[in-house]
Structure 1
Amino acid sequence: MTTLLDRPNTALLVIDVQNGVMANAHDRDGVIANVNTLVGKARAEDVPVVWVQHSDDQLKRDSESWQYVPELVRRDSEPLVHKTYGDSFEGTDLEALLAERGVGRLVVAGAQTDACIRSTLHGAFVRGYDVTLVGDAHSTEDLSAYGAPPPDQVIAHTNLYWQWQSAPGRRGGTVDTAEVTFAAGGAG
């Protein structure tokens, strides 16, 4: 249903599953296992896997913290987008990469739920993409000391509100890893 013309394809967007980001993430191992399952499924179905990697003052480029977790291995043929803002589209070549591949629908996984995941979901949606969040393949750290709800509640709330997103010509949605399908019009 995307509003982007001649963009019938789907891509998997893997956001910021980096050592420093995932070090204290809620259900770290389970989320990484689900992301790995999604990557394998996308590759088996010849669906583009686009990797996004954040850097900032706390996540210095080329540092150990900045590297992707060792459980996930990007293929050289899979695009890598470097970003410095929460929204993976801001100041990057993500839009051009997706346009080249005819992508109008995104399946999103990664971290952190309450930062880069939410920013990218909304950024993609307002740019005309259909956007599916994989509900058991994103995470965040515990920021309750700063007034945030516990991470399981942040994740649950994000899954809940994204399930019902819609706008003229596009839609959001939330599915679990087992329900993801990359086919046009599918559940995920």
Structure 2
Amino acid sequence: MKSTLLVIDVQQALFDETPRPFEADAVVERINTLTGRARAAGVPVVFIQHEASDLEYNSAGWQLQPGLQVKEGDAKLRKTTPDSFLRTELEALLASWRTEHVVICGYASEFCVDTTTRRAAALGYPVTLVSDAHTTHDKPHATGEQIRRHENATLPNIESFGPEIKAIATSEVRFAD
């Protein structure tokens, strides 16, 4: 099945300011492992960057986190909502690559990662949520670790979209062109 890897919102303002997201450095390392495997298999890599009034396009905070290994040929996509498909070219890109399956990682587990995962499934794409390569900040009601566990447990239980959503660790993700 032809896959595409989506790396959502791993940006300086979201990763490098204190307090940092849960396992921020480890998540970046895991994402680099995933992007390396994807490229080796000829699988497209898309870096998605959020913008808002406090995260302006092309500002220092809007830039990708410096630890990410971004290569020539990787796609970059701008978005303004938690849904990476809404008012973006993502769906057209996936169609042009004949994508049949998406692999999702990044930030924030309960917002952009969750929303994009649900939208991808609603559009007919089976989704692999990389269970240890998405993160978020602690919130008053739950830690970043608890939120990640919640998303990993909840999203795979959504069957009504049709396509399967599965949550697996970076070490288990395999790409085939």
Q: TM-score band (shorter)? A: over 0.9
- Residue 133 (structure 1) aligned with residue 126 (structure 2): no
Specify every segment of 5 or more residues in structure 2 that has no aligned partner in the other structure, as ranges.
Answer: none
Report how far residue 169 of structure 1 moved.
4.5
1:86 to 78, 82, 85: 82
Give 2:143's aligned residue: 150
Per-residue displacement from partner, 1:90-110 (whole Å, max 9, x unpaired)?
000000000000002000000
Per-residue displacement from partner, 1:58-114 (whole Å, max 9, x unpaired)?
111111111101111322312111000100000000000000000020000000001
Q: What amino acid sits opposite 2:136 in the alignment?
A: T
Q: What amino acid sits opposite 1:66 in the alignment?
A: W
Which stretches of structure 1, 4 residues or more, deviate above 4 A after TM superposition? none
Does the CA contact (< 8 Å) of 1:14 and 1:109 recur in 2?
yes
Does the CA contact (< 8 Å) of 2:137 and 2:144 recur in 1?
yes
Give 1:181's aligned residue: 174
Give 1:163's aligned residue: 156
Tell me the SS of whatever aligns to 1:36: helix
Provide the aligned C-alpha RMSD in A.
Answer: 1.4
Residues 1:137 and 1:168: Cα distance change in structure 2 (over 3 Å): closer
- For 2:33 and 2:157, locate their aligned partners in 1 and report how far apart those are by CA, in whole Å: 25
2:39 to 33, 37, 43: 43
Identity of aligned residues (%): 37
Give 1:3's aligned residue: none
Tell me the SS of whatever aligns to 1:56: coil
Does the CA contact (< 8 Å) of 1:165 and 1:173 recur in 2?
no
Give 2:15's aligned residue: 22
Report how far residue 141 of structure 1 moved.
0.7
Report how far residue 168 of structure 1 moved.
6.3
- For 1:30 and 1:77, locate their aligned partners in 2 and report how far apart those are by CA, in whole Å: 24
- For 2:158 and 2:171, locate their aligned partners in 1 and report how far apart those are by CA, in whole Å: 21
- For 1:56 and 1:164, locate their aligned partners in 2 and report how far apart those are by CA, in whole Å: 31
Tell me the number of residue pairs that the alignment of Structure 1 and Structure 2 aligns: 174
- For 2:91 and 2:69, locate their aligned partners in 1 and report how far apart those are by CA, in whole Å: 23
Report how far residue 167 of structure 1 moved.
3.9
- For 2:40 and 2:160, locate their aligned partners in 1 and report how far apart those are by CA, in whole Å: 31
- For 1:105 and 1:152, locate their aligned partners in 2 and report how far apart those are by CA, in whole Å: 26
- Residue 64 (structure 1) aligned with residue 57 (structure 2): no
Does the CA contact (< 8 Å) of 2:12 and 2:62 recur in 1?
yes
Tell me the SS of whatever aligns to 1:80: strand
- For 1:99 and 1:149, locate their aligned partners in 2 and report how far apart those are by CA, in whole Å: 37
Per-residue displacement from partner, 1:23-61 (whole Å, max 9, x unpaired)?
321110111100000001101111111110110011111
Tell me the SS of whatever aligns to 2:132: strand
Q: What amino acid sits opposite 2:26 in the alignment?
A: G
Q: What is the TM-score of this pair, normalised by structure 1?
A: 0.88
